[in-house]
Amino acid sequence: MNYQTQMKIKRILKQPLVTYLLLVITTIVFLGMELTGGSENGQVLVNWGAMSRGEILYLHEYWRFFTPMFLHIGWLHFVVNMVTLYYVGSQVESVYGHWRYLLIYLLSGVAGNIISFTFGSPNSISAGASTSLFGLFGAFIILGRHFRNNPAISFMVQRYATFIGINLIFNLFSSSVDIMGHIGGLIGGLLVASALAVPDRSEEFNIHERIIAGIIFVFLLGVCLVLGFKKFGLLV
C-alpha cells in the first residue's frame, strides 16, 4: 500500500463515520414509518418499537429499551434531532473515537429509556434520539472535568451545560416531552463516558473512577428495572 493510499484511508477514518451511519439508519426508519401510516400514528409507533410499557410488561418485548432512540414523532422532531446529532455527534466522535462514541450513544439511549420506563408517565408512548443526544451532552461535560485547562473544551462545556439547563427547564412545562428520558440519557452519558475515557489520554481518567462509573451505571439500570416492574405489580 503506497503512502497516498494510506493517507486517504486515514482521512476517511477521521470522518465521523458512526454519526453518518446513525443518521442514515434513523432516516431510513423514519421514512419507513411515514410510508406505513405516519410517524405520528400511535399504532405505527408501537409497531416500529416505541417505548410502550404494556408491550414491555406483558409481552416481554425488552428490545423496546433499545429501539425508541431510532424513532421520531413527526417531521419537526426528526429534523431537530438529526441536525443536533450531526453537529454534536461529529464533535463527540472526533474526541472519543468511533467505537467509544457508539457505546456512549447506544448505552445512553438505553439508560434514558429504562429510566423513562420506571419514572415516566405510565400510559405514554415515547420515542426519539433525545435520550442518546443528552448522553452526548453528558460526555462533553465529562471532558470539561478532565481537560479544564483546555480553553476550547471549557468553552464547549459551558455552552452545552447552559443548553442542558435551559432545555430541562422548558421540559418541565411541556407535557409532550419525556423529561425522565432526557435526564436518564444525561446520567447515562456522564457514567459511560467516565468509564470509557478518551483514547490516548486515558491517563487523565483515574482507573478507579472509571471502574466505579461502570459499576454505578450497571447498578443504576438494574435498580430502575426492578423498581419499574415492582411499580406495575410484576415483582413482589
| Residues involved in catalysis | 130, 182
First CA to last CA distance, the chain:
63
Nearest-angstrom CA–CA distance, 93 and 74: 27
β partners of residue 51: 126
Nearest to 176 by CA among 83, 73, 65: 73
Task: Compute the residue count for the chain.
Answer: 236
Nearest to 72 by CA among 25, 19, 138, 137: 25
* Grid cell of 11 as nine digits: 482521512
Per DSSP, the three-state class of 52 is strand
Distances (CA, A) of 14 to 22, 92, 207: 16, 12, 27
